[in-house]
Structure 1
């Protein structure tokens, strides 16, 4: 509900790692985001601090990410920010992850050719039965319809 949504503009720092999980495809890569500022003394642009985020993509976004991104490419990532802290072997560490909703090339730096994925290419992805959206006259759900409704993703209201 109260998630922190971010939009990060940076470069792909590591080659995306693609995995087939029980819950569906998953991919992750590191995103480098470097602040730029105008240095008045040198009269030129300079690099500031670089932040690194681990970007996680799931389902079709994971498949498309693995097929589309390579190291060094400029990208824009939108998603949920998750900051975690932990202590392992006496060492304290913090990680900043982005659970991606959308990933795309930053067209300020070059061109990109969009290609819609054909259904045949996504046939390996697990499929769920289509729920019956019509409510029966008596208001009850058959067992197949109830199971399909339980598996359906919640609707997003805008």
Structure 2
């Protein structure tokens, strides 16, 4: 929609995503992302951490289930969504304002990690992580070799998987 503020945040998950369901059965996952910019201090000739931004994020439906099954605390993520401002009164009667992100897209950062992605087909069982593997605590941790892209086993019939330099593409 016009006038909405869409932002992209890169940071680390503060905690494991929390998956809940509305009374109508819609899944919603909430998580917080900490994003800390690095700045160069010319006086000391060193990189330093600037002030951290902590942003509460929520993602809905199948994406919520995929996030809860696939991402874990400490995972570096790229999150894009609509920034929302919400005001409320705390217990002491003081008016507070918070900023939250309604997530459209989220995924692991592949800057210092690898991932094998499998398309999900609707509802997932509690033992699946939404990416075709057993849930094992998130990206970046040691996992058993399971085949598939990025895990040492090449798909059969994939002309790009072989390392022959025939000079011409196979089409």
Match of 1:83 among 58, 82, 85: 85
Distance 1:8 1:111 in 2: 19
Who is 2:70 aligned against? 68
Match of 2:102 among 66, 89, 99: 99
Who is 1:117 aligned against? 120
Who is 1:14 aligned against? 15
8 Å CA contact 2:62–2:122 kept in 1: the answer is no
Q: Per-residue deviation at 1:40? A: 1.6
Change (3 A) 1:40 1:87: same
TM-score, normalised relative to structure 1: 0.71
8 Å CA contact 1:79–1:99 kept in 2: the answer is yes
Change (3 A) 1:16 1:26: same
Change (3 A) 1:23 1:120: closer
> Unmatched 5+ residue regions in structure 2?
126-171
8 Å CA contact 1:13–1:71 kept in 2: the answer is yes
Q: Per-residue deviation at 1:23? A: 5.0
8 Å CA contact 1:52–1:96 kept in 2: the answer is no
> Unmatched 5+ residue regions in structure 1?
123-158
Structure ranking higher in strand proportion: 1
Aligned length: 122
Q: Does 1:5 align with 2:6?
A: yes
**SS class of match (1:31):** strand
